């Protein structure tokens, strides 16, 4: 059964809900989520929202911290807008009734996290800021918003000449296909953390939005930059969930099994060094055969300050009373994604992207802690303003593009999720080499990369579509990592150990038509954006 709307949003995280809130009340808006509305990375986010609301802080300082953490691989103007508009967005959120954690005198309780030079992290419910923020927006969701759960958006419906996105196809667990049509299709489906064996992400984060856009012909940028969170709870060879960076901000220290502090001699900020540095040191310590722990014995009233972490440890039989939490790094955030302009427009007319699915240029080579929820608030609002300003689109149907071949379930069933995770970690994990990357790319090409991007997916079930999308994202990340012959931010090459001047400002842009390496001071102008 087909459905028509004014705006269709794929995804249900903070960016999606913020967008829905600010769209004009006359629009019929449909939010599509392949699981449940509360099963998003935003909902489980333990960190807070970075914003300049303290008079002792400054926008300039927030911008500088963001640029340093991301190794100056940003659209600098966009970073400035993120910091300045973000402060206003957070104040607007508080004014709408959002309850933030406060000190005894009523002033906001501002936390400190890695690579920040000032206390500017706003929390709600201690380490449950994501859940509290999403619940706040859900409680106030306008009546013009319809939420449809349990349907996976898996393919963009394109005009016959493939220049315009007209809608999306979805599939439920029973295999039923539906088509949703709208002049504005927004991808806000999150990142691709599930392609790695250890991740802080929901297991459903298989890079759907990025793969959909790539197959539709959109440009994909900076996929080599995958942030690994330093501290995931690590039990019996598996990660069990995130240990918020705010724990280190409150005084937690990383130690090896002998009690020796890992970060003291590595970086001036010690345990609050940028995430790529901290994750690397933990990885190296573990590679040398030593277990790593987060020492929380100096943090008073830990259970009160970090109820989510406490509950996670209790569920996994890790006694908080001993003060040592076993940790290991895992994939956390994708700085790359679908190329967008300042408003969230992609290079395909009618198709937009916001949140972690998008490459907005604000995170550079390594995202600054707590800038992700801020990005969702800012770009959700900004895209709403853009769509609200557009002339009402004609809703007539056009003749659409169709794939000549449909991929068969039996071929997709041969793909292994677990094998891909292991191979991706070896090739494009925390440490990368030319040999491992080239080998993994050849493996993916032999498995059928061209078929994954040139065949329809109507005959596949949801599990097999996810596996195809995981393989596509693994390819995009690995190829970009192979091409970038330097180490910068979260991208670490043992065969190219330093930041190279000739790679400064250059971006690797991938489409189904080929690869472009862009550079210079005017990258934004060189990206063809359809308004």
* Active site (catalytic) residues: 275
How far is it, in rounded angstroms, from Cα 209 to Cα 357?
Answer: 6
How far is it, in rounded angstroms, from Cα 50 to Cα 62?
Answer: 8
CA 79 to centroid of chain Cα atoms: 17
**What would the DSSP string read from start to end of 8-29?**
EEE--SHHHHHHHHHS-TTS-E
Q: Where are the alpha helices (DSSP H) in 402-503?
A: 409-413, 417-428, 434-447, 449-454, 462-483
φ/ψ (deg, to 5) at 365? -90, 0
CA nearest neighbour of 354 among 200, 509, 189, 155: 189
Q: Any idea what the Cα angle at residue 527 is, between residues 274 and 340, rounded to 5°?
A: 55
Cβ atoms of 133 and 14 within 8 Å: the answer is yes
How far is it, in rounded angstroms, from Cα 61 to Cα 75?
Answer: 17
How far is it, in rounded angstroms, from Cα 462 to Cα 157?
Answer: 18
Q: What are the percentages of helix, strand and coil residues in the chain, rounded to 5?
A: 35, 20, 45
Count, residues in the chain = 531
Cα 336 to Cα 37, 67, 149, 344, distances in angstroms: 24, 16, 27, 14
Q: What region, left, alpha or beta, does residue 200 occupy, with left being phi > 0 and alpha being psi -120 to 50 degrees?
A: alpha
Contacts of 192 (CB under 8 A, 6+ apart): 205, 206, 207, 210, 334, 470, 473, 477
Two tokens at 216? 């539709």
Pairing of strands 507-511, 220-221: antiparallel
How far is it, in rounded angstroms, from Cα 452 to Cα 213?
Answer: 13
DSSP-assigned letter for residue 365: T
Cβ atoms of 183 and 193 within 8 Å: the answer is no
CA nearest neighbour of 160 among 457, 397, 339: 397
φ/ψ (deg, to 5) at 513? -90, -15
């Amino acid at each position: 059964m087909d459905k028509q709307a004014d705006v269709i949003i794929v995804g249900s995280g903070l960016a999606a809900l913020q967008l829905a809130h600010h769209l004009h009340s006359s629009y019929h808006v449909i939010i599509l989520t392949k699981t449940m509305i509360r099963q998003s990375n935003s909902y489980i986010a333990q960190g807070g929202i970075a914003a300049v609301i303290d008079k002792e802080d400054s926008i300039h300082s927030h911008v500088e911290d963001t640029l340093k953490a991301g190794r100056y691989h940003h659209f600098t103007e966009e970073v400035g807008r993120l910091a300045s508009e973000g402060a206003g967005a957070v104040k607007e959120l508080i004014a709408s009734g959002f309850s933030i954690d406060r000190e005894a005198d009523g002033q906001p309780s501002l936390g400190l996290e890695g690579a920040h030079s000032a206390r500017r992290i706003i929390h709600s419910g201690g380490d449950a800021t994501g859940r509290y923020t999403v619940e706040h927006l859900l409680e106030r969701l306008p009546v013009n918003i319809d939420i449809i759960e349990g349907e996976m958006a898996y393919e963009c419906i394109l005009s016959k000449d493939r220049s315009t996105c007209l809608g999306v196809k979805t599939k439920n667990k029973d295999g039923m296909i539906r088509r949703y049509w709208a002049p504005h299709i927004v991808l806000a489906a999150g990142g691709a953390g599930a392609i790695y064996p250890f991740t802080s992400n929901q297991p459903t984060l298989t890079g759907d939005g990025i793969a959909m856009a790539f197959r539709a012909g959109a440009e994909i940028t900076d996929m080599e930059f995958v942030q690994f969170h330093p501290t995931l709870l690590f039990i019996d060879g598996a990660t069990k969930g995130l240990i918020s960076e705010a724990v280190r901000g409150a005084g937690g220290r990383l130690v090896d099994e002998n009690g020796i502090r890992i970060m003291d001699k590595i970086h001036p900020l010690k345990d609050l060094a940028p995430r790529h540095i901290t994750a690397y040191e933990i990885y190296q310590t573990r590679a040398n055969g030593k277990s790593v722990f987060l020492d929380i014995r100096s943090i008073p009233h830990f259970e009160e300050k970090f109820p989510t972490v406490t509950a996670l440890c209790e569920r996994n039989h890790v006694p908080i009373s001993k003060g040592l939490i076993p940790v290991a790094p895992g994939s956390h955030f994708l700085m790359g994604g679908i190329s967008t302009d300042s408003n969230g427009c992609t290079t395909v007319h009618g198709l937009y992207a916001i949140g972690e699915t998008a490459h907005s240029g604000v995170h550079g080579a390594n995202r600054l802690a707590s800038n992700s929820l801020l990005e969702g608030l800012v770009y959700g609002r900004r895209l709403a303003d853009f769509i609200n300003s557009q002339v009402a689109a004609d809703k007539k149907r056009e003749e659409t593009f169709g794939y000549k071949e449909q991929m068969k379930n039996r071929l997709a069933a041969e793909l292994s999720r677990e094998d891909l995770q292991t191979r991706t970690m070896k090739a494009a994990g925390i440490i990368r080499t030319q040999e491992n990357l080239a080998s993994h790319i050849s493996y993916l090409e032999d498995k059928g990369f061209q078929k994954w991007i040139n065949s329809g997916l109507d005959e596949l079930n949801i599990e097999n579509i996810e596996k195809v999308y995981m393989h596509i994202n693994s390819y995009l990340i690995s190829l970009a990592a192979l091409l970038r012959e330097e180490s910068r931010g979260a991208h670490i090459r043992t065969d190219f150990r330093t930041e190279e001047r000739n790679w400064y400002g250059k971006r690797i842009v991938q489409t189904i038509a080929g690869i472009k390496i862009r550079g210079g001071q005017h990258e934004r102008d060189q990206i063809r954006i359809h308004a």
